Amino acid sequence: MRYGILLLLAACSAAARVPPARFANAPAVDAVNDRLDVPDPPSKRVFFEHLYHYDGLVQRRMTRALELHPPTRARGTNALDEVPDSTWFTNRIGIRDLSLDEVRRGANRIDSPELHRPWAVKSTKTGGSEVGFIVVDSRGEKFLLKFDAKGVPEQETATHVIVGKILWSCGYNVTEDYIVHFRLEDLVLAKGAYIKDGETEAKRPLHEDELERRLAQIEREPDGSFRALASRWLPGQPLGGPPAEAVREDDPNDRIPHELRRDLRGFYSIAAWLDHEDIQESNFLDLWVADPSDAQRHYVKHYLIDFGKSLGVMATTSSDPRRGFEYWFDPSQMSWSLLTAGAVPRHWEQREFPRLRGVGAFGLAAFDPGDWFIASPAYVPFTTVDRYDAFWGAKIVMRFSREQLRAIISTGQLTDPRAADYLVDTLVARQRATGEYWFDRVNPLDRFEVVGSMVCFDDLALRYRFTGEITSYAVTTYDRQGHALGTTGMRAETARTCTPAVSLAPAGDSYRIVEITTQRSTFAGRTLVHMARDPATGGLRVIGVWRP
């Protein structure tokens, strides 16, 4: 009965107008050239934290509402609805096999500074309230040293390294980070070492007693050594973080408004999986860099930085279990609490605190992949995200195997084996929650290709075993003008399946639109696959994918 209803629905959709999108008979773009020469560095953007959050929570939030922005599909995608490589993002996991050694290494390209001591202390770090130093190792490499806060050993250092390698595997540009151990005698003050005030930018000399005083604030390891995160200094001229809206006006390569970039909007489902709640403009960094193949050519490259507050660490270090469940200043939640006198339980009250060394308040019980929050709504790409963006991010999340996650977590050097086990289990559980949630909101068909005159595809809900039921599909074929040519039905219980042969035009490029309508007991959705004959080979190929 359900099968017949599906065919009836497909027939009705055939009578409806096919979406107007048509695609060029050409291979999909897999990389964009946003590395055109920018001879002069764009201006540096200064981050004013209080103004940024005021705008995000109050002024800009109101003005955006008054501007009546309609829901707008993301840009920065190719004909297959994927994100091509650029200075923002490079397709990695799932596009090619990443070995366990490769995910363990991540962005790191040199030896750990632990092997190149002593370290010359150049200055204290600026920004943030935590202790930190800028050092140069014995081979001349520059690093930022950051430490765990007292009372939460291993949390921030391990989390930063783990999340950084996950984000690199996803495709983002990140820093090269290492867990290091050292003793006081491994540090020497460089000539002219200084303390830099983060507010006034004023400098004053850094003396030995001040260095020791700051290190006394750091929790030591049982053997008396210090544990730290050593983050290699990024090459290029820092320009500050990219604006959350619009583009850098003085960067001619920056042409897509950031609130419309798929790689930024789709980051939402990845960040939610990792509880990477500390997202604001200052935790991104643009650099004016020289092209590796031509030192005379320059362009802007875009990085994600500072991941140590992910995996529930923000909730533990700030003693605020609401983090990730509502904005840090959230009038609607405050009003609700006042109205209900606090009698209605809040989601964050179910938050897990596993109390394992090196692990933050990270768990599954209260996790909702579609109702997760960063600190404030000031980061606009996360307020403009739609289900197609989140589906793209969820596909990346699902590509990690348990073995790859365990290999990455091992680089955090957690001393309690139970902590590593817990993080693996929790990441896998949140991974599945993420995939199941977003694959139920977009027809989860992927990896389309033409075999003969059949369209083959993966049903991700079946591939990842979110459903075990036999799935019905109706396949309707249209010509270029959107005229229906016929509908057939099929069923499948395996992840990879193919449609019946598509009827082709006897001449021309045989442009066809194949609508695949998926029906399960609790789900119905459709995807339109555009195909045409390759003029070079004569074979059919997929030239476009449209998700209504």
Domain spans of the chain?
2-29+443-546, 49-101+256-283+310-439, 106-238
Residues near 7 by Cβ (< 8 Å), separated by ≥ 6?
474, 487, 489
Query: For residue 347, what pLDDT band results from cuts at 50, 70 and 90?
Result: confident
When the pLDDT of each residue in the chain is averaged and rounded to a whole number, the result is 92
Give the single-character DSSP code of 391. Answer: H
Any idea which residue has 């509502």 for tokens? 326
- Region 207-229: what's the mean pLDDT? 93
Instruction: For residue 316, give Cα distances in angstroms to 312, 372, 384, 407, 507.
Output: 7, 17, 29, 25, 66
Instruction: For residue 5, give Cα distances in angstroms to 136, 226, 383, 495.
Output: 69, 67, 37, 23
Q: Is the pLDDT reported for residue 345 higher than 90? A: no
Parallel, antiparallel or unpaired: strands 119-124 and 187-196: parallel
Rounded Cα distance, 342 and 337, in Å = 5
**In the chain, count of helices (H) and strands (E)?**
14, 18
Peptide bond into 205 cis (omega under 30): no
Q: Is the pLDDT reported for residue 86 higher than 80? A: yes
pTM of the model: 0.94
CATH 3.40.1710 fits 2-29+443-546, yes or no: no
If one counts every other C-beta atom within 10 angstroms of the C-beta of residue 248, the result is 19
Rounded Cα distance, 147 and 437, in Å = 36
Rounded Cα distance, 112 and 143, in Å = 10
CB 300 within 8 A of CB 239: yes
Query: For residue 335, what pLDDT band results from cuts at 50, 70 and 90?
Result: confident
Rounded Cα distance, 367 and 362, in Å = 9
pLDDT at 348: 79
